[in-house]
Structure 1
Amino acid sequence: MGGALSRSAVTPQITINSADADVPIIPPIVLLMVLTTAAAAAKLTGARIRFLPDEINALKVRLGLFALICAVSVHVHIDVLEEMHNAGSGLAFTPTAGIATGGPFAYTRNPFYTILIFLQMPALAIAFDCGWLLFAIAPMFVWLSKVVIPGEEAFLGLHFGKEYAAYLDSTPRFLLN
Structure 2
Amino acid sequence: MSQQDDHADIPVLPPLVPAATILLGLALQFLWPIGFLPGDSGNWFGWLLLATALSFAGSAAWEMKSARTHVHAFKPATSLVTGGAFAFSRNPIYLAMAAAVVAIAALANSLWFLLLAGPTALALQKIAIEPEERYLERKFGSEYLNYKVRVRRWL
Aligned to 2:33: 48
- 1:116 maps to 97
Unaligned runs of 5+ in 2: none
Could you tell me whether the CA contact under 8 Å between 1:14 and 1:155 is conserved in 2? yes
The aligned counterpart of 1:102 is 83
User: Normalised by the size of structure 1, how large is the TM-score?
Assistant: 0.75
Tell me the amino acid that sits aligned with residue 116 of structure 1.
Answer: M
Aligned with residue 76 of structure 1, among 36, 56, 59? 56
Q: Which has the larger radius of gyration?
A: 1
Separation in structure 1 between the aligned mates of residue 104 and residue 114 of structure 2, nearest angstrom: 9
Identity %: 29
Residue 31 of structure 1 aligns with which residue?
17
Distance between the aligned counterparts of 1:67 and 1:160, measured in 2?
Answer: 37
Shift of 1:34: 2.1
Secondary structure of residue in 2 paired with 1:76: helix
- Of the candidates 161, 166, 169, which is equivalent to residue 149 of structure 2? 169
Q: Cα offset for 1:105?
A: 0.3
Shift of 1:127: 1.9
Q: In the alignment, residue 157 of structure 1 is paired with which amino acid?
A: E
* Conservation of the 8 A alpha-carbon contact between 1:12 and 1:97: no
Query: Would you say the 8 A contact 2:68–2:79 is kept in 1?
Result: yes
| 1:108 partner amino acid | S
TM-score by length of 2: 0.85
Name the counterpart of 2:67.
87
Shift of 1:103: 0.3
Structure 1 pair 13/142, CA: closer, same or farther in 2 (3 Å)? same
Q: How many residues align?
A: 154
Tell me, yes or no, if structure 1 residue 143 matches structure 2 residue 129: no
1:108-143 CA deviation, whole Å, 9 max, x = no partner? 1010111122x2011111122111111112222222
Runs of 4+ displaced beyond 4 Å = 10-13
* Partners of 1:111 and 1:77 in 2: CA distance: 6
Q: Aligned equivalents of 2:46 and 2:35: distance in 1?
A: 16
Per chain length, whose mean CA-contact separation is higher, i.e. which structure has more relative contact order (CA < 8 Å, sep 6+)?
A: 2
SS of alignment partner, residue 83 of structure 1: helix
Asked whether the equivalents of residues 109 and 172 of structure 1 are also in contact (C-alpha less than 8 Å), the reply is: yes
**Alignment-mate amino acid for residue 32 of structure 1:** P
Calculate the aligned-residue CA RMSD, in Å: 2.3
Q: Distance in 1 between matches of 2:61 and 2:123?
A: 23
Change (3 A) 1:131 1:115: same
